[in-house]
Structures are given as C-alpha cells and as structure tokens.
Amino acid sequence: MPGLDSSPSVDKTVENIGRLPPDLLAETCQQILSHLQGQVRGVDSAEISDKFQRAGIRLDQEALQEVVQFLFLTFRSTEKNNFSADELVARLGEGSSKWAKAALQVLHRLWSDQGSLVNTHQESQAMLSIGQLVDMQWKLGMAVSSDTCRSLNSPHVSLLLKIADTSGQISQRSFEMTIAQFQNFYRQFKEMAAVLETV
C-alpha cells in the first residue's frame, strides 16, 4: 500500500491531499472509485485539474498526478488486501503523520460505502489487462507549404485518440495520415466491422 513507508515525497503528497476541501477530495476519490467499479473508463486528470483550479487549489501537473496516483494505488491496494475502512485509515496513519483528519474521514466514508462494489468489479476484471479507447476525434487538413517547399498542397487526416490504460489514467495520442494511409485504415476498419457483424 502506498504511503506505509514515510518519506518526504509521500508526506508532500499527503499534505497536498489535506489541502483539498472535503467535498473536492470526495469528488476526486469518487471519480477514481467509479473507474475501479467499471462505471467510467478512466480517471481524467485534466478534468480534476480544472476542478482544483476553480476551487482555488494550485497544484502543478506533477503534484496533481502524484495525488491522483496515490489515491488510485491506495484504493487498489485496499481492495487487493481486502482491508476494511478502519484498516485503510489505520494503515494510512501509520504511513504518514501528515494526514488531515477530514481527509481520513472522507476516505473512510467512501471506502465504507463503495469498497465492496470495487472488490466485486475488480474480481471480474482480473483476467483483462488491456486499455480502452475513450474518445476519437479527427479532422481533415491541408498542408500548403513548409520551410523547404513552397507549394505542398497535400491533404492529410489528423486523429486524436483518448485511451484509458489499465491503471485508469487517460492519455492522448495524436497522429497524421496521408489520404492513401487513411483509405487503407478505413478499409481495415470496414473489414473488422464486417467480421463483427458475423459474430
């Protein structure tokens, strides 16, 4: 379980968690728990960051990621070790003396309410370990010139994929394809769709 060995980085993450108002911490934990229950495909750190900023909580991207990752690993470890809410709070208290009482109360309440749901879903997902496509956006563009060529007039398709990895973190991947590459991509997807219709 994260945080059982007190270290400056763990203490700093715990202090950052303690800076969160209880309702904002509960909302952040709820998003993580919803993912662990299979209700949402991933934990959107950008959305959490926006909520923190609107609430006046200033954390840099690395600190935000550490908070989300710490909470995610805490709930995941709690589920894997089949800890009760009381055991969760006791273990966190052993790991760091920096915990705010209000933060521990939020974690206790949420795990008491939803721990069994997480446990049930995680057992059913134990055999699966593949990321999921959350969103795909595309746009058609035209490259008209570059530093080395005055007139390209070359159309391309830009794709942006949002993917939730097995830990629940959502990442974005973007790439461009020429029209010929896109047509090949389209043909392959059309073949997959045809095969899926026969199943």
Give pLDDT tens digits along the chain (199 positions).
Answer: 554 555 678 899 999 999 999 999 999 999 998 888 877 778 888 888 889 989 898 888 899 999 999 999 998 888 888 899 999 999 999 988 899 999 999 999 998 998 877 766 565 555 555 677 888 999 988 877 666 666 677 888 899 989 887 667 888 889 898 888 989 988 998 888 888 788 7
CA distances for 57 relative to 22, 45, 50, 143, angstroms: 13, 14, 10, 41
Domain 132-197 has CATH 2.60.120: no
* pTM for the full predicted model: 0.61
Q: Which residues contact 171 (CB under 8 A, 6 or more apart)?
A: 162, 163, 165
Half-sphere exposure (CA, 13 Å, Cβ side) for 114? 23
Domain with CATH 3.10.450 in the chain: 132-197
Q: Which two tokens stand for residue 71?
A: 């909470």
Q: Would you call 96 helix, strand, or coil by DSSP? A: coil
pLDDT at 3 (0 to 100):
47
Query: What are the helix (H) ranges across 57-176?
Result: 61-80, 85-95, 101-125
- Say which residues have a Cβ less than 8 Å from residue 143's Cβ, sequence separation at least 6: 152, 153, 154, 155, 156
Residue 39: CB atoms within 10 Å: 12
